[in-house]
Amino acid sequence: MVKSPGKDADIFVGNLIDERHGGPVTIGYGRYAPGQSLIETMAVYDTMIVLEGRLSVSTGNGTVTARPGDIVYMPKGQTVTITTEDEGALTAYVTYPHWAEAHA
């Protein structure tokens, strides 16, 4: 697991599949500590599935709270604020294109 590059929040991500594997998507698990807030303009199309805990995602269209089994789709170009409160969250994510290349 590596700390999310360029971010100070207590959020860890680990890729299982990425540009080294020859396919078009990056896949991994993310862990968000409690009490985090991360604002990001999406550089990739990111699909996040909540596996444990709870997190909220806010956009100009409002806020959704996602619980285990919920899917959050964050298209490229969208500005999102991801927050956790008392609980952290464990997520799985799939990005297209590769996240590392988009952030290089």
- Out of 33, 43, 49, 100, the only residue in the binding site for a copy of itself (CB under 8 A) is 49
- Taking the C-alpha atoms of residue 59 and residue 40, their distance in angstroms, rounded to an integer, is 10
* Alpha-carbon torsion (98, 85, 79, 11), positive or negative: negative
Interacting positions 55-74 with a copy of itself (CB under 8 A): 68-69, 71, 73
- Tokens representing 10 are 């207590």
* Strand-pair partners of 79: 41
12 is a contact residue toward a copy of itself (CB under 8 A): no
- Out of 40, 96, 100, 102, the only residue in the binding site for a copy of itself (CB under 8 A) is 96
Q: Least CB distance from residue 68 to a copy of itself, whole Å? A: 8
